[in-house]
Amino acid sequence: MDGIILAGGKGTRMRPLTDDTPKPLLLVQGRPILEWSLMSLHGIVDHVLIVVKYLKEKIEAYMAQQTLFSHYTLVEQLPEPLGTGHAVECCQNNLQSDDFLVINGDDLFPHSALRDLSQHPFGILSVLKDNPSLYGVIIRDDAGNFVRIHEKPPADVYPPPVPCNIGAYKFTTDVFDYTLAKSARGEYEITDYVTHAVHDHAVHVVESPFWFPIGNPQNFEDAQSVDVTRWIPIVG
């Protein structure tokens, strides 16, 4: 199975920390965020694709010296980054299996949840949140089947806690049968792949016991004291 790590963003909200360092290489408890991502995927996938753009040479240098994955591919978003869906599409010709996981490269995901997610042809990882207006809410029908994602709904629409999308997905290469259109913000969204897929496939919602996004300097500071090794086993 392949694993895709989305690591091409500029990390503008993390400046000045990301002026000279790509966000995936910022250190959390002495290890690059990217290393935690690789350890999360270790033992689940055997080939990892790193989507790069900003300061790509530094990620290339890191991957050349790391020992977690000998089998990896760097994929540059060309001609320019056009969203998460575009990032996945750029990987299509470098995939080496029919199944693949996709994770955000600046979040910490538990190994156990990614392993569970990998067991389904199509799936999405979720956690329960009390402030759904900040996230994409996962909508299910009366039988519990995934229907769609409601992005950042008004605060009073759903009584908390509600299951929210956290940026980890499982697909098969059948997903490339769907053509994405640009969203209102002018990007191709990975969530639109999920929305299309549900018309032809069962999309399994896998609840995660842990998720730690590192989106701003306060998140980064807080991540230094999180019990990460409870969820991501140290490898090597």
Q: For residue range 44-63, what is the model confidence (pLDDT) as tens digits?
A: 999 999 999 989 999 999 99
What is the DSSP secondary-structure string of 63-96?
Answer: HHH--S-SSEEEEE--SS---HHHHHHHTGGG--
Q: Is residue 233 part of a domain?
A: no
For residue 11, the model assigns a pLDDT of 66
Q: Please give the model's pTM, rounded to 2 decimal places.
A: 0.95
Instruction: Name the domain count of the chain.
Output: 1
80 Cβ contact list (under 8 Å, min separation 6):
53
CA distance 165 to 201: 18
Which letter does DSSP use for residue 146 in this model?
A: E
Q: For residue 68, give the CATH number of its domain.
A: 3.90.550.10
| Residue-range definition of the domain harbouring residue 187 | 2-225
In a domain? residue 234: no
Residues of the chain with pLDDT under 50: none
In the numeric block, which tokens belong to residue 195?
A: 């929305």
Q: Is residue 143 part of a domain?
A: yes
Q: Would you say residue 192 lies in a domain? A: yes
Q: Which helix (H) or strand (E) holds 149?
A: strand 146-151
Residue 232 lies inside a defined structural domain of this protein: no
Instruction: Give the position of tokens 């067991």.
Output: 119
Structural domain includes residue 71: yes
